Amino acid sequence: MTPLLRVRELKVGFGRKADANPVVKGVSFDLEAGQTLAIVGESGSGKSVTALSINRLVDFGGGKIVGGSMAFARPDGSVLDIASADESALTGIRGREIGMIFQEPMTSLNPVHTVGAQIEEAFRLNRGLGGAAAQAAAREALERVRIPDAAERLRYYPHQLSGGMRQRVMIAMALAGNPRLLIADEPTTALDVTVQAQIMALLAELKAELDMAMIFITHDMGLVAGIADQIMVMQQGEVVERGPTDAVLDSPQHAYTKHLLEAVPHFRGGAAVRTDRPAEGVRKPVVAVDGLTVRFPIGGGFLARKSGAIHAVEGVTFDLIAGETLAIVGESGSGKSTTARAILGLVAATRGAIQTAPGRSGRPVQMVFQDPFASLNPRLTVESLMAEPAIAAGQRVDARLRERMVFLLERVGLSAEALERYPHQFSGGQRQRLCIARALMLNPDVVVLDEAVSALDVSVQARVLDLLIDLQSEFGLAYLFISHDMAVVERIAHRVAVMYAGEVVEIGAASAVLSQPHHAYTRRLIAAVPEMERRRQRYDVDTTPVPSLIKPKGFEPQPAAWIEVGADHRARVEE
């Protein structure tokens, strides 16, 4: 039997000299009907370009297929070589036989049309349906991707839906043509873990229902384990390993695959937490947050009246102990970043107290941001960037200061030559090291790490985490580690606080919170973590929506009630 798609020696290049410098250098694979192939790799590995070549969308991004063949079996038994097909033939294939979903569901939906109109369009183009028939088909499609109140949701605009809902709409549109092959390019990367788990479960169900083949692009080994039949690992445009999922995961052959598998932080349910707690007894808090509340008013312009407020952070209380890591975990919109920004004074607290112990310098709390590309001014040299905290503290830029810069740069694994270079000459991981070195310039007591490793590739992420742990003991730092990634948190945290809808719902020692979660949300969060070890388990997906943070004017929440779960472990009482 001929496979659905047979790719041989595919080469793709960009720009005027596409042949000379291919980004994809001879990729070959077969995909049988109804099977799922996962393409795994880090940024720049050519995995997305490979996927975009299969429906030739790569042509619109300036790419060119410079070699190889892609034989696609049509339903009538004929075989089309996509690599050499002309645009008119491809238009008939895209959508109808090969569907695609993208990473960013907001930018792939048109914001000025209702989702109903957009799904109907997909049915009009791919199935020739019109009017009431298209509308009914659109409703069915939404029901098929498990969107509640589908008829009602058809009238919504994309911005009125959550990220997970939008991705469901994208999937509904991709399925409108009943494709025999679905290409999913990092479809859950921009989503929260619990939403990611929902989408993955949905894709697995749909695949079985529709007997559809799938190519799944991801950087996350743990994610593909549950869905893929085959795994193909790519590095710098080449396939380094290909095989059945279990074989690749359990006995990887290539060094890079092994390296990737090791670098991926495995979540072990609290079994892998740090044991190097600083000496007991001197547990003095360096930052004490008591009842922190941050609200952003809505409306209230020149003539408009204030209609309410976004309760971004509501009554958050915790202590950060000297030399320890407190991780704040939660999903987007849970208020974890706002809490961090309030501690640094970047947003004003509406209520509550933040007490910082006088530290070794005038500014005992420093911060490292998520995006290493945005947090360094591109027009300044590393020397100017590193000097900034010292200049702000009134120090002179002299030989001694330069000595400290070189010391810190070398400590984070960069050389002294870096001083004369500009940020764009460094990779993402190196930039984040720069940001860490810069945060240490003033010898702080506390470093707030706001998703500081989230934007990095897994192998880089692992090394930066190791560096952070080393620096912590060497400089006696306390970390406030903001993250959405449970596996990363498990590796670095001594204590964990779980935030949900602006409130801390559970806080305590990392081992206790991660191994015996008490609050329903913590349990849900932990259940959603994709994990290789649990790949054969099936778990029910909870689709409880997050309560709205927008509250009417004058709204005051009930004071929280807590239960002590263990010695250093307490959770909020659920209604």
Partner 1 sequence: MRILKAIVAHPTGRIGAAIIAIYLLLAVCGYFGFTPHDPLQQFRVDRLKPPSSSYLMGTDLFGRDTASRLMAGIGQSFIIAFASVGLATLLGTIIGLLAGWWGGLLDGVFMRSMDMLLAFPAILLALLIIAIVGPGTATSVVAIAAVYTPIFARVVRGPVLTLKRRDFVDAARTFGSSQGYILSRHMLLNLVAPLTVQVTLALAWALLTEAGLSFLGLGTQPPAPSLGLMMSEARNLMQQAPWLLAFPGLTIMLGILGFNLFGDALRDILDPRSQGRSS
Size of the site for partner 1 (CB under 8 A): 30
| Pick 340 or 510: Cβ nearer partner 1 | 340
Residue (168 or 438) nearer to partner 1, CB:
438
CB of 287 to partner 1, least distance (A): 14
- Please, which residue, 150 or 368, has the CB nearer to partner 1? 368
Q: Specify the 3-state DSSP secondary structure of 310.
A: strand
CA nearest neighbour of 489 among 434, 460, 452, 435:
452
Shorter beta-carbon distance to partner 1: residue 159 or 379 = 379
* x-or-dash string of contact with partner 1, 333-372, rule CB under 8 A: --------x--xxx---------------xx-xxx-xxx-
Cα 259 to chain center, whole Å? Answer: 21
Instruction: Please name the residues in contact with 16: beta carbons below 8 A apart, sequence gap of 6 or more.
Output: none
Which strand ranges, in their side-by-side order, compose the sheet holding 238-244? 98-101, 181-185, 213-218, 36-40, 230-235, 238-244
Judged by CB under 8 A, the residue of 17, 159, 305, 379 near partner 1 is: 379
Taking the complex as a whole, the smallest distance from the CB of residue 457 to partner 1 amounts, in Å, to 20
- Footprint of partner 1 on 34-93 (CB under 8 A): none
CB of 5 to partner 1, least distance (A): 33
Residues between 89 and 128 that touch partner 1 (CB under 8 A): none
Q: Which stretch binds partner 1 (CB under 8 A): 31-39, 67-75, 254-262, 375-383?
A: 375-383
CA-to-CA distance for 203 and 99, rounded, in angstroms?
13
Residues 335 and 320: their CA atoms lie apart, in Å, by 17
Minimum CB separation from partner 1 for residue 64, in Å? 16
404-443 footprint of partner 1 as x/- string (CB under 8 A): ------------------x-x----------x--x---x-
Shortest Å distance, C-beta 573 to partner 1: 36
- Least spacing, CB of residue 337 vs partner 1, in Å: 11
Distance CA 260, CA 42 (A): 9
Which residues lie closer than 8 Å to 260 by C-beta, 6 or more apart? 40, 42, 221, 233, 458, 459
Binding mask 440-479 for partner 1 (x = CB under 8 A): --x-------------------------------------
- At closest approach, how far in Å is the CB of 162 from partner 1? 24
What's the distance, CA 421 to chain centroid?
30
Which is closer to partner 1, CB of 156 or CB of 475?
475
Nearer to partner 1 by Cβ, of 41 and 389: the residue is 389
Q: What part of residues 142-161 is at the interface with partner 1 (CB under 8 A)?
A: none
- Of 414 and 486, nearer to partner 1 (C-beta) is 414
Work out whether 393 is an interface residue with partner 1 (CB under 8 A). yes
Give 496's strand partners: 327, 508
Closest Cα to residue 532, out of 175, 147, 265, 226? 226
| Element spanning 526, H or E | helix 520-527
Q: Determine, following the binding rule CB under 8 A, whether residue 17 of this chain makes contact with partner 1.
A: no
Helix (H) or strand (E) holding 423: none
Residue 109: Cβ within 10 Å count:
20
Exactly one of 89, 151, 208, 374 binds partner 1 (CB under 8 A); which one? 374
Contact window for partner 1 (CB under 8 A) among 199-207, 275-283, 384-392, 455-463: 384-392
Question: Exposed, middle or buried: residue 342 (CB in 10 Å: 0-12, 13-18, 19+)?
Answer: buried
Which residue lies nearer to partner 1 by CB, 198 or 370? 370
The CA-atom distances, in angstroms, between 290 and each of 58, 274, 575 are 53, 26, 23
Closer residue to partner 1 (CB): 248 or 436: 436
CA nearest neighbour of 192 among 517, 529, 516, 505: 529
Distant-in-sequence, close-in-space partners of 319: CB < 8 Å, separation ≥ 6:
285, 287, 288, 289
Among 377, 473, 539, 574, contact with partner 1 (rule: CB under 8 A): 377
Three-class SS state of 63: strand
How far is it, in rounded angstroms, from Cα 524 to Cα 38?
26
Phi, psi for residue 397 in degrees, rounded to 5: -85, 95
For the bound state, the minimum distance from the C-beta of residue 455 to partner 1, rounded and expressed in Å, comes to 11
Nearer of residues 389 and 502 to partner 1, judged by Cβ: 389
Nearer residue to partner 1 within complex by CB, 28 or 384:
384
395: alpha, beta or left? (left if phi > 0; alpha if psi -120 to 50): beta
Q: Choose between 35 and 366: whose C-beta lies nearer to partner 1.
A: 366
CA distance linking residue 432 with residue 462, whole number of Å? 13
> How many Cβ atoms sit within 10 Å of the Cβ of residue 504?
29
Question: Smallest distance, Å, CB 375 to partner 1?
Answer: 4
Tell me: does residue 380 bind partner 1 (CB under 8 A). yes
In angstroms, give the least distance from the CB of 424 to partner 1. Answer: 5
Dist. CA 152–CA 102, nearest whole Å: 25
496: Cβ–Cβ under 8 A, 6 or more apart, which residues? 326, 327, 328, 329, 489, 506, 507, 508, 509, 510, 513, 514
Between 284 and 424, name the residue whose CB sits nearer to partner 1: 424
**Among positions 230, 375, 430, 483, the unique one binding partner 1 when judged by CB under 8 A:** 375
Residue closer to partner 1 (CB basis): 162 or 384: 384
| Closest separation in Å from C-beta 311 to partner 1 | 22
Which residues contribute to the site for partner 1 (CB under 8 A)? 341, 344-346, 362-363, 365-367, 369-371, 374-380, 384, 388-389, 391-393, 422, 424, 435, 438, 442
